[in-house]
Amino acid sequence: MPAVNDTKFQPAVFLLTGIPGLEDVHVWISIPFCLMYIISILGNSFILFIIKTDPSLHEPMYILLSMLAITDFGLLISTMPTTLGIYWFHSREISHDACFAQLFFIHSLTIIQSSVLLCMAFDRFVAICNPLRYASILTPPRIAKMGLVCLLRGVTLILPLPILLKQREYCKDNILSLSYCLHHDVMTMACSDIRVNIIYAFFLTVSSRGLDLLLILLSYVMIFKSVLSIACHVKHLKVLNTCVSHVCVVLLFYIPHLGLSVIYRFMKNSSPIFQIVLGNVYMLVPPLMNPIVYSMKIQAIRVRIIRVFVK
């Protein structure tokens, strides 16, 4: 009899959330979301097309940029079905297995993207601090190995999350706070002991994005130290200008993520609207802005984009 009762109170699905109180205008709200998805897909496709078709861009910096664009694609594809499903069709239900699969792809791709940003910081460090050995250090086979390590790191670190979540019982309120599944959001729905999930999530944050951000900051400290040793101030600006696009992308990635983490851990009573807005910024703004930033700040890509449209 107890087993029957446990099954009775365990919800079969989770309910995703759009914007509470504005359900009647969800179709209109979907317009900016659609525009962001379309612009992000076109922008990242254009970056990949230019890098693939121009042999002069088959260099470490641009290969890493193409990896970043591919992870942006993955994040867009992972969140687009449930987000647009809510705003177009009021389809809020998602099964446990589908939710666990979605959060696996979202978190895996997030860690892969963080790893790629770290590789890009290493690329800038070698190019500025040891330019004579740049071509011998960052060879195509080595870049391919770095990409494979980024992929394996993301998959292996995140794989325990859906396994741990699948072992939990869910008998609490099954309404998630966003239009897609995240580990912390789903974890709080469980009515069984989640201490293992909490400990592993903390380890995951420290060993992935926390470590990556620390190493990125360390690389830029060494870059600035190397740049300051140059006597000419004009060369200071010229060298640092090659890092501006990467710094912007790092800020676009980490600031929303840190903000969402702070809200989940220390501001649990904050406005749901604020959480939803920041959650969408966290997931949609980096894929939207990354191709724009690189198109504006990297001359080689900007020139080739102009050539495409001039022709």
Query: Is 186 a member of any domain?
Result: yes
The pLDDT, as a whole number, for residue 155 is 97
Q: Are 19 and 276 in contact (CB under 8 A)?
A: yes
Any domain includes 52: yes
pLDDT at 268: 63
Query: Structure pTM?
Result: 0.91
The pLDDT of residue 25: 87
Give the count of domains, the chain: 1
Residue 240 has what pLDDT? 78
For the packed helices 299-310 and 272-297, what is the interaxial angle rounded to 10 degrees?
A: 80
Residue by residue, DSSP assigns 124-141 as HHHHHH-GGGHHHHS-HH
The CATH number of the domain holding residue 44 is 1.20.1070.10
What residues in the chain have per-residue pLDDT under 50? 1-8
Structural domain contains residue 291: yes
In a domain, 8, yes or no: no
Work out the mean pLDDT of the chain and round it to a whole number: 88
Give a yes or no: residue 6 inside a domain. Answer: no
pLDDT at 7: 46
Q: Is residue 4 part of a domain?
A: no
* Helices and strands (DSSP H and E) totals, the chain: 13, 2
- Count CA atoms closer than 13 A to 202's CA, side-chain side: 6
pLDDT at 169: 87
Which of 158, 153, 178, 191 lies closest to 18, judged by CA? Answer: 178
Question: What CA–CA distance (Å, rounded) separates 164 from 207?
Answer: 18
**187 inside domain:** yes
135, part of any domain: yes
User: What is the span of the domain harbouring residue 239?
Assistant: 14-310
Which pLDDT value is given to residue 52?
92
21 backbone φψ class: left, alpha, beta (φ>0; ψ -120 to 50): left
